[in-house]
A and B are shown apart, each in its own frame.
Chain A
Amino acid sequence: MEIISLTPFDLSVAAILVIALSFVSARMGIGLGRQILVAGLRTTIQLFLVGLVLESLFANVHLGWLLLIAIAMLLAAGREVTNRQKRKFSGWWGFGVGMVSMSISSFSITILALTVIIDLKPWYEPQYAVPLLGMLLGNTMSGIAIGLDRLTQTAWDQRNRIEARLVLGDDWSDAIRDIRRESIRSGMIPIINAMAVAGIVSLPGMMTGQILAGNPPLEAVKYQILIMFLISGGTGFGTMFAVWLGSRRLFDDRQRLCLDRIKKTG
């Protein structure tokens, strides 16, 4: 089966939909008319830029280039995690907690997948490495962002409970155990749900892409299962690590609750 290449005309037809949507929203006073256009434009420009980068990356397979791309993706994801916090850690920690956890879980799992599971020569073949890392980072990012947001917000709201436990002689870990557990839960639930409904409610994006590109459905399914497992591992362990690190940061060396280490954003 051949891939049917999309022409500018094909994309324009789809773009008319977005323009029409923007027009109708503006007329209805929903107030999103402009935002829809800007978002549509951003999608177009950003994706074309990424496409150009990938084309040149695929043409020049080199570990250095791949690392550069990987670090750029990681920084962008770290920024996104920070921006999604209602109350974030002040100073370097705000960026650091998410970044460290994401890099540990996403990078190690991507490398595991490339070297052991897919077994590529060379293992840093960007055609596999970049999309894999992208999907892992994207999902890990969400899990960590949700987990950390929940952690700092709940700790803020329940400071009295935490301190009441400290006063009775609980150590920091016991005092925040329930909050930590709930935060990890809420970070992990989206990916668990996604695994549970995969293929029933919707076809996962990556699989859809492979099928559209002409791959046999069962091959696409195998890759999708692999990705799902990798993503759950990455999100789960990443969230656990980030929430643990964050919860430790909420206490100082004398195990006092230090809410001045988080600040409200926006």
Chain B
Amino acid sequence: MANLLIKNLYFHIFGPVNIEVEASECIGVTGPSGAGKTLFLRSVADLDQHRGSMSIGGIESTGMPAPEWRKKAGLLLSESSWWFDLVGDHFVNMNETWLEKLGFDISVLGWEVSRLSTGERQRLALLRLLSNRPDVLLLDEPTANLDAENSKNIEMFIADYRCENKAAVIWVSHDMDQLNRAASRCYKFNSDGLETIWK
């Protein structure tokens, strides 16, 4: 069981946020640009300063080194970054079936990052994150640069990962249709917390 429990989380000018995401559950978070959704995800990944407590499967974030927590609470940043020349250098272990599911084959590992399109980078960044096998997925507009077909593909892929690994997912998006498909609950992000849109 790897549920995500967030209690009285304050960060920047926002909070308190209280939410529990069960294992295998996906919740949607929406709200206008600049409302703090990205900052919220960054705080849950312990990338920004915050107050309050967070735990995965009952283990507090402060009870482990930050890198270990970030491996468990995998954050997909809206803009992917790459630091080596070749795609493959960014991957420790690569699951070939995953590559195929997202429309790549193993040769992609030898490609130069600079020649990838934005959409290709975004899909590969998701694979890079999932190869850590995080218990919690924090997705910041994971399909922002993708066409409709690739978006659907990603939605299915994430749903499969969530069910197979019993992962808890927080999905931030502006696309209400997408959240309707992907999430079982949906919230609007406000400066003083999460407001329920539907359950």
Decide whether A and B assemble into one complex.
Answer: yes
Closest CB in chain A relative to B126 CB, distance in Å: 12
- Asked if A255 is an interface residue, CB under 8 A from chain B, the answer is yes
Cα A169 to Cα B132 with chains together (Å) = 8
How many residues on B have C-beta within 8 angstroms of the other chain's C-beta atoms?
22
Pair B66/A256 contact, Cβ less than 8 Å: yes
Q: Does A13 contact B (CB under 8 A)?
A: no
B67 touches A160 (CB 8 A): no
Report the bound CA distance from A90 to B129 in whole Å. Answer: 34
B66 touches A165 (CB 8 A): no
Is A2 engaged at the interface, CB distance under 8 Å to the other chain?
no
Interface check B198, CB cutoff 8 A: no
Q: A160-B81, A164-B80 are in contact. Are A169 and B67 (CB under 8 A)?
A: yes
Closest-CB distance, A249 to chain B (whole angstroms): 16
Set of chain A residues within 8 Å of B80, measured between Cβ atoms = 164
Question: Inside 8 A of B45's CB, which chain A residues have their CB?
Answer: 167
Given the contacts A163-B47, A254-B46, A254-B66, A168 and B132 also touching, CB distance less than 8 Å: yes
In the bound assembly, the distance between CA atoms of A257 and B66 in angstroms comes to 12
In the complex, whether B105 has a CB less than 8 A from a CB of chain A is: no
B87 to chain A, nearest CB (A): 14
Q: Count A-B pairs with CB separation below 8 Å.
A: 53
Determine whether the beta carbon of A161 is less than 8 Å from that of B132: no
Name the A residues within 8 Å of B79 (CB-CB): 160
Which of A165, A178, A252, A257 counts the most chain B CB atoms within 10 A?
Answer: A165
Q: Which residue of B lies closest to A163 (CB)?
A: B47
- Whether B75 sits at the interface, judged by CB under 8 Å, is yes
Does A129 lie at the interface of the complex (its beta carbon under 8 Å from any beta carbon of B)? no
Look across to chain B and name the residue whose beta carbon is closest to the beta carbon of A170: B67
Interface residue A55 (Cβ < 8 Å from any Cβ of B): no
B48 interfacial by beta-carbon distance below 8 Å? yes
CB of B149 within 8 Å of the partner chain: no
Cα distance A252–B47 in the bound complex, in angstroms = 10
Q: Cα distance A165–B75 when bound, in Å? A: 11
Greatest chain B CB density within 10 A among A163, A164, A170, A178 is at A164
Q: A256-B46, A256-B48 are in contact. Are A167 and B83 (CB under 8 A)?
A: no
Is B49 a contact partner of A165 (Cβ separation < 8 A)?
A: no
Given contacts A160-B79, A164-B80, A254-B66, are A169 and B71 in contact (CB under 8 A)?
Answer: yes
Chain B residues proximal to chain A, CB less than 8 Å: 45-49, 65-68, 70-71, 74-75, 77, 79-83, 128-129, 132
A-B contact list, 13 entries, CB within 8 Å: A160-B77, A160-B79, A160-B81, A161-B83, A166-B66, A167-B47, A168-B74, A169-B67, A169-B68, A169-B70, A170-B67, A178-B83, A256-B49
